[in-house]
Structure 1
Amino acid sequence: MRSGAKVAIVGGVFVVVASGVGYGGYNLWNGIMGGSDGTVSTSGSDGRRTGPVTDEEVTATAKDFLAAWAGGESEQAAQLTNDPVSAGSALLGFRAEAAVSAATITPGPARGATVPFTVKATVTNAGVSKPWTYSSQLTVVRGLTTGRPLVDWKPSVVHPKLKPGASLRTGFAKAGAIQAVDRRGRPLTAEKYPSLGPVLDQLRERYGATAGGKPGVEVVVDAGVEGVPDTSLLTLTKGEEGKLETTIDADVQAAAERAVKQYGSASVVAVQPSTGAVRAVANSPANGFNAAFEGKKMPGSTMKIVTAALLLEKGLVKADQAAECPRTAMYYGRTIGNLEGFSLNGATFGKSFARSCNTAFIKKIDDVGDDSALGKEAKEVFGIGLEWKTGIRSVDGSVPAETGGAAAEQYIGQGTVQMNPLNMASITATAKYGSFKQPYLVAKDLDDREFATAERKLPSSVAQQLRQMMRLTATAGYGTASGVMSSVGGDKGAKTGSAEVGGQTTSDSWFTGYSDDLAAAAFVEGGGHGVDAAGPVVARVLNAD
């Protein structure tokens, strides 16, 4: 601790006073000595303590670390962690790069080995000072070589939005501020719509200069990766905002935010079939990763929309003609069955689609005569794999070429098929409209980017039958989506799905549907059947339009 530092009790809280400036914290030396009385309990002949950290060790180590950090003693604080080099650099940057001139750090009650705390700091840059308050947490572990209790170092200790390789920085923002608005001119903010946080950061990074805004002075998380936008944490001096129009509909976005919030891991996207305009994108948790646009998951039986289109185009099935739906079907030694072993004797292909009969699709693979045909259909008609330019980062799905049993799994959305809610909402929009319209968040003339175009549209007879089968799924008493979609009005259709993921006791829940000129798709990790979790999310979004 720097010369002249004293420990006092102010208002019942220990405060480290250094060079006349008060910083919230606790006695550093207790942690270095190993306990409040300077003694260390040991186990073993080498005197090194072993076993889980004790409650006393957790409390003392956290207090001492936070005291050193708050007092600007980055080197001493770093020595109380299990990664002094990384910790020292980050803690020094808290003062030097983030321009924190003073800090009070108050720990809360420990939860096992984890201690939450609140940082109340003052940031000073170019003569301007502003308070900055946030919460984070740390975990205490036992050092592998020394046996000492140490803070388990992670960048998120300094700030919850810091990830490895990232750093805090205070200064002029890289891009001008923007005021993003929805399609009716209503403001869109991360405070009101948390899922839009990473979306707005990317839009600002890409379009801040062209939108007419001027940078202000901010505390940001600098990702340290080219192309990854800064995340603004605090504004010291406001710049001038440039207006940026998006395709989002604030009403649909609000419904999407509420719908996914009830689940630990869920995403939903809404798209307008006639234009490709994205009306909503929401994720839970809203933690910075836009899984709705960038996720890669097996889509389960929602993929049967594409498979059905393929079989219809090949003339191998018709919606109103009988198709085999036995309990099981085999293809190249791979046996695939239906949920709970059901079968449909003499049922039409349309009813098999509505009931989500796996075997009705598997039985037709031999007749297609090309194991890679599904991927071709997905790309040529539905635009999957065409490098969409939505205005922000997005992954536009993948159906890699497979053979044998792996190809059979793809027919029902398992195996190597990778999709996200953006992809499935677009596939549904294509089925509804009859041709692919690339999804987008901002107009292409903002940066003259080229939209992806599909090689061909669905033949009108195929599009009509596909919509007929999706309507049956959403409205017929035997349709797997009829219950969930009963509250949705307009011309409507849907497809349910569940994806069996190795290592999960419960399948991932998928659901996609449309109502008039709005299509939506949702994913809920471990949500079970499509109607159990993802279905209600989509219904709430469709009802918001």
Structure 2
Amino acid sequence: MRRRGLLALVVFCAMLLAAGLAAVITDARRVTGGPEATGRAYLDAWAAENLAEMRGLVAFPPANFLEAHRRFDADLQVLSVKLTPGAVVARGEWAADLPFQGVRRIRELGEWKFSSVLRLAVRDGAWKVVWTPATLLPGVAADERLRLAKVSVPGTELLTRQGRPLPHDSGAKAYFDGLAHRVDRAEEDPASGWAVEAVSARTGASRSLVVFRPPTHRTLRTTVDWWTQAAAARALDGLAGPAAIVAVRPSTGEVLAVADRLPGLGAFFTAYPATFARLAVERLKGGGLRRAAAGLGFGGALTSGFGGVCGTVRAAGNAGAPAVDAAGRDSVTATPVCMALVAAAVQNGAWRPPRLMSERAVGRLETARVPAPRRLPAKPAAWLRRMMAVAGTTAGLPAGVAGTAGTAPAESGADHAWCVGYRDDLAFAVFVENGGTGAASAVPAAVRFLDAL
């Protein structure tokens, strides 16, 4: 009897397991649509100005969904929009991203190109668009309204190294504008143009998103690579808070990308607490950290053509201070561009100053002498390369990428997150303000950036 009871129990459990598995399979088969079909349908409806159909494709659309679209087009006098989807990127079994390129035609001003990403997920048994205000235009906060404003523009237009304008919404426009003004400093009154500005309803502060300029006198190429800049900008689209990605070429110091969504051009001008433990603690003794940091640009201005700073190292106050400095706890601060240069120096064996234009152009724009490359001691540099190769794999970076991720304390809020590394002749730094751990925010952004190259 006891054996028959046990057998019956086993059979009953097997039946329950089979029924549960069948239910899961049935539920999976009940999901309607797919990410690509849903995303393309949404973009087609958007281009056709069919707001009702768009709303039906959105998961839990906000009450102001229709008004947000109507107000956006009215404020900017948008006549039409053309949208071109890219390839779907799966984010697990039930979520996906659909990147797309767009062209808005603005009344009397011309075309405004932009890039964005549709977030898609399964909701209530169907693939839906996960809509936020950033779907309309990445980088615009929920409390910001857009407007057209007349502005002064430089007489020089700066281009990427390919001779193309910057990718739109890429986080480098302020750098190009500043460089153009420097190049134009001897010019007379600048020409006038129109800008799309984002205005905060809370503070009234405005910032320019895109400028429609009159015919320019001349164009100049920078070191920024169009594809690298686009990859960096789109990698930041997945982050809600301030962040930056800077990429440089280790063999030359050329800045290949600067996607800066930090306040005040923070990628070049704001030094944040930096995680230096894995680069310094085991190699440096006594005052060695400060001497090595000076050789990596710390404590001085950067001669990039646009200026910038690297960071600071606090003087050791006691016997334990060097280790504290090396751990980056309130004693070592660095800008994102500085950390990209550190990674570049490890890869190449020499630190080089960054530059956004040709060496000749930088020499004309900078009043300070441009420093020569500084060789790193061979043995410590080789050790750092080995260490970063292992750490990159541990951190979850793609194959062939050496790097390290870490966390640094913030004055308020969550900790800051860093990820620095290199692959071949490209070095990068990812910084996420109050991003928590590097593994949670900076590393995923770095992976998105590298995968897009």
**Superposition TM-score, scaled by structure 2 size:** 0.60
Q: Please show how residues 190-201 of structure 1 align to structure 2 within 5 Å.
A: 192-201=168-177
Counterpart of 2:334, as a letter, is: M
Q: 1:207 to 1:469 in 2, by over 3 A?
A: same
User: Aligned partners of 1:174 and 1:182: how far apart in 2?
Assistant: 18
* Structure 2 match to 1:184: 162
Identity rate of aligned residues, in percent?
30
**Gapped runs of 5+ residues in structure 1?**
1-108, 111-115, 123-128, 133-158, 163-167, 222-229, 312-367
Report how far residue 497 of structure 1 moved: 1.0
1:252 pairs with 2:228: yes
* Structure 1 match to 2:102: none
User: Aligned partners of 1:279 and 1:467: how far apart in 2?
Assistant: 22
Q: 1:215 to 1:275 in 2, by over 3 A?
A: same
CA deviations on 1:95-139 (whole Å, 9 max, x unpaired) are xxxxxxxxxxxxxx99xxxxx9888699xxxxxx9799xxxxxxx
CA deviations on 1:357-378 (whole Å, 9 max, x unpaired) are xxxxxxxxxxx3x3x4312211
From 385, 390, 411, give the equivalent of 1:467. 385
User: Aligned partners of 1:531 and 1:121: how far apart in 2?
Assistant: 39
User: Contact 1:379 / 1:454 at 8 angstroms: preserved in 2?
Assistant: no
* Structure 2 match to 1:443: 358
* Structure 2 match to 1:508: 416
Q: Please show how residues 211-250 of structure 1 align to structure 2 within 5 Å.
A: 215-218=190-193, 235=212, 238-250=214-226
User: Aligned partners of 1:214 and 1:304: how far apart in 2?
Assistant: 51
User: Aligned partners of 2:332 and 2:280: how far apart in 1?
Assistant: 12
Counterpart of 1:175, as a letter, is: P
Q: Please show how residues 65-214 of structure 1 align to structure 2 within 5 Å.
A: 173=152, 175-178=154-157, 180-188=158-166, 192-208=168-184
Question: Secondary structure at 1:388's aligned position in 2?
Answer: coil
User: Contact 1:174 / 1:215 at 8 angstroms: preserved in 2?
Assistant: yes
* Structure 1 match to 2:342: 427
From 430, 435, 443, give the equivalent of 1:535. 443
* Structure 2 match to 1:458: 376
From 294, 302, 305, give the equivalent of 2:279. 305
Report how far residue 507 of structure 1 moved: 2.2
* Structure 2 match to 1:408: 323
User: Aligned partners of 1:234 and 1:390: how far apart in 2?
Assistant: 24
Q: Please show how residues 336-351 of structure 1 align to structure 2 within 5 Å.
A: none
1:496 pairs with 2:405: yes
1:418 pairs with 2:333: yes
* Structure 2 match to 1:396: 310
**Superposition TM-score, scaled by structure 1 size:** 0.50
User: Aligned partners of 1:131 and 1:511: how far apart in 2?
Assistant: 40
From 250, 254, 266, give the equivalent of 1:273. 250
Question: Secondary structure at 1:531's aligned position in 2?
Answer: helix
User: Aligned partners of 2:354 and 2:252: how far apart in 1?
Assistant: 8
Report how far residue 441 of structure 1 moved: 0.9
Report how far residue 488 of structure 1 moved: 3.6
Report how far residue 379 of structure 1 moved: 0.6
CA deviations on 1:284-338 (whole Å, 9 max, x unpaired) are 36xx7322222221112x4532444x43xxxxxxxxxxxxxxxxxxxxxxxxxxx
User: Contact 2:170 / 2:234 at 8 angstroms: preserved in 1?
Assistant: no
User: Contact 1:391 / 1:442 at 8 angstroms: preserved in 2?
Assistant: yes
* Structure 2 match to 1:137: none
User: Aligned partners of 1:257 and 1:456: how far apart in 2?
Assistant: 30
User: Contact 2:169 / 2:209 at 8 angstroms: preserved in 1?
Assistant: no
Larger radius of gyration: 1
User: Contact 1:488 / 1:515 at 8 angstroms: preserved in 2?
Assistant: no
Report how far residue 246 of structure 1 moved: 1.0
User: Contact 1:383 / 1:454 at 8 angstroms: preserved in 2?
Assistant: no
User: Contact 1:384 / 1:398 at 8 angstroms: preserved in 2?
Assistant: yes
Figure out how many residues of one structure are paired with residues of the other and give that number.
Answer: 313
User: Aligned partners of 2:344 and 2:146: how far apart in 1?
Assistant: 35
User: Aligned partners of 1:304 and 1:268: how far apart in 2?
Assistant: 20
C-alpha root-mean-square deviation of aligned residues, in Å?
Answer: 3.9
User: Aligned partners of 2:374 and 2:182: how far apart in 1?
Assistant: 31
Q: 1:537 to 1:306 in 2, by over 3 A?
A: same
Counterpart of 2:418, as a letter, is: W
Counterpart of 2:301, as a letter, is: E
Report how far residue 187 of structure 1 moved: 2.4
User: Aligned partners of 2:313 and 2:258: how far apart in 1?
Assistant: 23
CA deviations on 1:416-453 (whole Å, 9 max, x unpaired) are 21112111110011011111111111123125235643
Q: 1:203 to 1:468 in 2, by over 3 A?
A: same
Question: Secondary structure at 1:418's aligned position in 2?
Answer: strand
User: Aligned partners of 1:252 and 1:234: how far apart in 2?
Assistant: 22
Question: Secondary structure at 1:453's aligned position in 2?
Answer: coil
Question: Secondary structure at 1:439's aligned position in 2?
Answer: coil
Report how far residue 209 of structure 1 moved: 6.0
User: Aligned partners of 2:423 and 2:431: how far apart in 1?
Assistant: 18
User: Aligned partners of 2:387 and 2:307: how far apart in 1?
Assistant: 33
Question: Secondary structure at 1:415's aligned position in 2?
Answer: coil
Q: 1:307 to 1:442 in 2, by over 3 A?
A: farther
Report how far residue 249 of structure 1 moved: 1.2
Counterpart of 1:199, as a letter, is: Y
Question: Secondary structure at 2:443's aligned position in 1?
Answer: helix
User: Contact 1:293 / 1:422 at 8 angstroms: preserved in 2?
Assistant: yes
Give runs of ≥4 in structure 1 deviating > 3 Å. Answer: 116-122, 129-132, 159-162, 168-171, 212-215, 230-235, 405-408, 449-452, 542-545
Report how far residue 244 of structure 1 moved: 1.5
User: Aligned partners of 1:233 and 1:431: how far apart in 2?
Assistant: 37
CA deviations on 1:186-229 (whole Å, 9 max, x unpaired) are 3225xx2430221121122112368x9994323579xxxxxxxx
User: Aligned partners of 1:534 and 1:408: how far apart in 2?
Assistant: 24
User: Contact 2:170 / 2:229 at 8 angstroms: preserved in 1?
Assistant: no
Q: 1:205 to 1:303 in 2, by over 3 A?
A: farther
User: Contact 1:201 / 1:231 at 8 angstroms: preserved in 2?
Assistant: no
Q: 1:261 to 1:373 in 2, by over 3 A?
A: same
User: Aligned partners of 1:213 and 1:468: how far apart in 2?
Assistant: 54
User: Contact 2:281 / 2:323 at 8 angstroms: preserved in 1?
Assistant: no
Report how far residue 170 of structure 1 moved: 5.3
Q: 1:232 to 1:297 in 2, by over 3 A?
A: closer
User: Aligned partners of 1:473 and 1:494: how far apart in 2?
Assistant: 6
